[in-house]
Structure 1
């Protein structure tokens, strides 16, 4: 029986193969010796490892910001006498900053480079954390959270892109997925430390990884693919040699990077409306779909308001938060190790199925609570459901959308596409984070039933539309899913 996904990918392949600088390197069309010069035996050099570690310091800072609002809620509301509405605004204004930042994040990364964009993102984050830590009124909390939102949306785009552009194809998936591992680590630290320190001290602790990344950025190179895009040929050669090792032969890889960059740059004009050409439809649908699934399936609500959900289920918020902090790290670690072994799509499919089952458990538990029967079981079921949801989310949907999106967009449209995808993500994110408390007041069962229905649709989306990108160079992936006319 034919695979619908295979058919959809074949229909998007170019009618003729991209020109090859040296046909002798083409071994076969089945993928063994793909025609692209990057060696299958390419390893992680010290420079690649260092560059990735510095980049994912930003991921840790991102996780700290996402995880901050849950442990800080009770203390902040008591100290500053915030209402439910005011705290909902505090939680959601992060995504308002994200919406504004998403309008320019891709353009900034294309104009000033990946490394300078990471610098800029951390400056916004440091200003935001200081504003939150020393706030005495709601408005200064909002301004700090807004600044954090701008910083986060810059790093959410540029970090996966930077890592994907500097790493060899055989380790690209795992290294890019490390973004999510550090993000989850930051979130877990907030959940754990937030149980023993004040919300002001927690904000200052969250600023530390921002400072570490700013320092580390002085010691890592720029993306060679960005250097090719802006025509800095000598720096491209020097940077690629530094990344691959001083004894590595980079001539063919650098030639292909230049050739494909020039081809994509000449293929279409750069403008937001050109993004909606038919040849970009498939990667755009996949990117928007995966990005929208994260908040629509309830992940944002659970991350931001886990303590509130546990409290509504009459379960200990302290035990729940600590459990979330502990359970996520080993699962994310397993996801990083399995990404290049099993591929992106199988992990995404497993992730959405587990999340779907977990949401059904949570909805059922709150339904039982409403009947006033088995109340003692309700809290346990909600706890089990949230733990299961966290495991499912961590194994795939948490980090792999960023991996896939960093791989599927061609270099000439990557900035615009990234901005559009993240803009849509944060619009949905804002809607969920602002309305979640009100939805729970309306119906706890109804809220998680809605998430469950959307999650079931997400399983179908991953099954039939998401491509597998494992084991291919960025140039291969982008050539195969954009319809270029090369006669």
Structure 2
């Protein structure tokens, strides 16, 4: 099939960029002086980094949504006279909305482009935050939380895919990890701001990332690989040129992307029979597997209920400890962003999941041991400290690999033909397990803290085996080379 065939047969016309940036970057690719002081933009890393920083506002919104319920629980419960179960439902509805958003995310991103899907995600987020900030009863809280979750579900798929598709192969790992780094920054911001402002004001502040994201989307190019798939040759080459720098020869990369697009079938629909082919079922299994194991590690149970965990460990200032965990998570994720293109994805995943096994073992043993000593004894205090150390080490280990890398690998390995459907399925699986963990973690912790962390430890041990057996190394390869390797 030729590069233009999909557009020529009439069907490609059904799918156009929802957000067209106009002609500025097409003009810029031919005449770099239009950008003013053009030397900075000629550096491909600067151009791509600017795009990544803009779309990273989406994951910051993601993290802010996840962290909002922690510092606001007591105030919302008191002001609106909610029961514990009503507030628990409020917190979990973000996951329910995200599951709906995840189902739609792949198809939305395929039909109207990566930028258009981010615009669609931003709008319900803004409406959701406004509904919460003006809520006078539980119905507005629930509606707002569902809308936020829907937007977050789309963001969680679209941002890593967009970053993977615009980044050069030598920077793709680090830039892809910015997605999870931004999530942790959003969580930390919600924790910190929640200490100083009331819950209604905090909800209004939650609007800010999307208010900046929306105009920012008009100043960045659409994914060149998506434009190529849609048969938009001029826009595709112009987008790639501005991303790589106006003085960069992009001929080799253009030809590689064209060959990859031409090798895919004109038929965009995927049949279940096609999934029997290794090129499809293997990357789909790896993508879903990593995102499922990410949640089965219990990280959301630890992050969402860290205050309760610290209180049971004997820490008096649990809110300060929670903020401290947020800071540590940001720092560890930033280190992963620097390491991922140096050490590789696979090694970091093995080190990360192995570190979580050891950390969770320490936490489980500490909680079990506390049951055999007196609460007034020195040993009881020591075991409490060891359990906190284990939780902190678990968060660090998770942030080094299992936090950012599953999303990165998912965006790298899924074939073009099934990326929309497979990405939606993988994202849905992640959010479904996140909902299960956040709903059951309080019950499990109440049943047995030591037993709960033992279960999480076993899941992390299975993760080590899964990575060692199935997950390929994608460092230093183009997306086309990665997808060809599954054939």
Q: TM-score range by the shorter chain?
A: 0.7 to 0.9
**Post-superposition offset of 1:445:** 1.8
* Structure 1 contact 295–432 (Cα < 8 Å) conserved: yes
Q: Give 3-state SS (helix, strand or coil) of 1:264's partner.
A: coil
1:211 aligned partner: 211
2:254 aligned partner: 254
* Structure 1 contact 275–413 (Cα < 8 Å) conserved: no
Q: TM-score, normalised by structure 2?
A: 0.87
1:331 aligned partner: 332
2:37 aligned partner: none
Q: Give 3-state SS (helix, strand or coil) of 1:125's partner.
A: helix
2:474 aligned partner: 469
Is 2:411 the counterpart of 1:392? Answer: no
Q: Give 3-state SS (helix, strand or coil) of 1:103's partner.
A: helix
CA distance in 2 between counterparts of 1:367 and 1:278 reads 47
* Structure 1 contact 43–171 (Cα < 8 Å) conserved: no
Q: Deviations over 1:87-130 (max 9, x none)?
A: 22122111111111121110000000000111111112111111
CA distance in 2 between counterparts of 1:265 and 1:113 reads 19
CA, structure 1 residues 188+368, in 2 after alignment: closer, same or farther (shift >3 Å)? Answer: same
1:342 aligned partner: 343
CA distance in 2 between counterparts of 1:197 and 1:153 reads 27
CA, structure 1 residues 158+51, in 2 after alignment: closer, same or farther (shift >3 Å)? Answer: same
* Structure 1 contact 67–190 (Cα < 8 Å) conserved: yes
* Structure 2 contact 90–141 (Cα < 8 Å) conserved: yes
1:200 aligned partner: 200
* Structure 1 contact 409–478 (Cα < 8 Å) conserved: yes
1:304 aligned partner: 304
Is 2:80 the counterpart of 1:80? Answer: yes
1:240-279 mapped onto 2 (5 Å cutoff): 240-266=240-266, 270-271=269-270, 273-274=272-273, 276-279=275-278
**Post-superposition offset of 1:392:** 0.5
* Structure 2 contact 101–150 (Cα < 8 Å) conserved: yes
2:421 aligned partner: 416
Q: Deviations over 1:430-471 (max 9, x none)?
A: 111112222222222221111111111111111111110000
1:105 aligned partner: 105
CA distance in 1 between counterparts of 2:309 and 2:265 reads 48
Q: Give 3-state SS (helix, strand or coil) of 1:455's partner.
A: helix
CA distance in 2 between counterparts of 1:136 and 1:272 reads 48
**Post-superposition offset of 1:269:** 5.3
CA distance in 1 between counterparts of 2:302 and 2:83 reads 20
1:438 aligned partner: 443
Q: TM-score, normalised by structure 1?
A: 0.87
**Post-superposition offset of 1:406:** 0.7
**Post-superposition offset of 1:274:** 5.0
Indicate the RMSD between aligned Cα atoms, in angstroms.
Answer: 1.7
Q: Give 3-state SS (helix, strand or coil) of 1:170's partner.
A: coil
Q: Deviations over 1:229-286 (max 9, x none)?
A: 11111111111111112222222211221220121234x7523625632321211111
CA distance in 2 between counterparts of 1:427 and 1:192 reads 28
CA distance in 2 between counterparts of 1:424 and 1:450 reads 19
**Post-superposition offset of 1:475:** 0.2
1:135 aligned partner: 135
* Structure 1 contact 160–402 (Cα < 8 Å) conserved: yes
Unaligned runs of 5+ in 2: 1-41
CA distance in 1 between counterparts of 2:339 and 2:226 reads 28
CA distance in 2 between counterparts of 1:275 and 1:296 reads 29
* Structure 2 contact 44–245 (Cα < 8 Å) conserved: no
Match of 2:485 among 480, 483, 487: 480
Q: Deviations over 1:156-188 (max 9, x none)?
A: 111111111111101111111111111111111
1:449 aligned partner: 454
* Structure 2 contact 363–391 (Cα < 8 Å) conserved: yes
1:148-187 mapped onto 2 (5 Å cutoff): 148-187=148-187
1:221-240 mapped onto 2 (5 Å cutoff): 221-240=221-240
1:359 aligned partner: 360
Q: Give 3-state SS (helix, strand or coil) of 1:169's partner.
A: coil
1:12-91 mapped onto 2 (5 Å cutoff): 44-91=44-91
Q: Give 3-state SS (helix, strand or coil) of 1:412's partner.
A: helix
* Structure 1 contact 44–167 (Cα < 8 Å) conserved: no
**Post-superposition offset of 1:474:** 0.3
Unaligned runs of 5+ in 1: 1-41
CA, structure 1 residues 142+375, in 2 after alignment: closer, same or farther (shift >3 Å)? Answer: farther
CA distance in 2 between counterparts of 1:198 and 1:302 reads 25
CA, structure 1 residues 395+45, in 2 after alignment: closer, same or farther (shift >3 Å)? Answer: closer
CA, structure 1 residues 133+274, in 2 after alignment: closer, same or farther (shift >3 Å)? Answer: farther
TM superposition outliers: structure 1 runs of 4+ over 4 Å = none
* Structure 1 contact 97–147 (Cα < 8 Å) conserved: yes
Q: Which protein, 1 or 2, shows the higher relative CO under an 8 Å CA cutoff with sep ≥ 6?
A: 1
* Structure 2 contact 270–417 (Cα < 8 Å) conserved: no
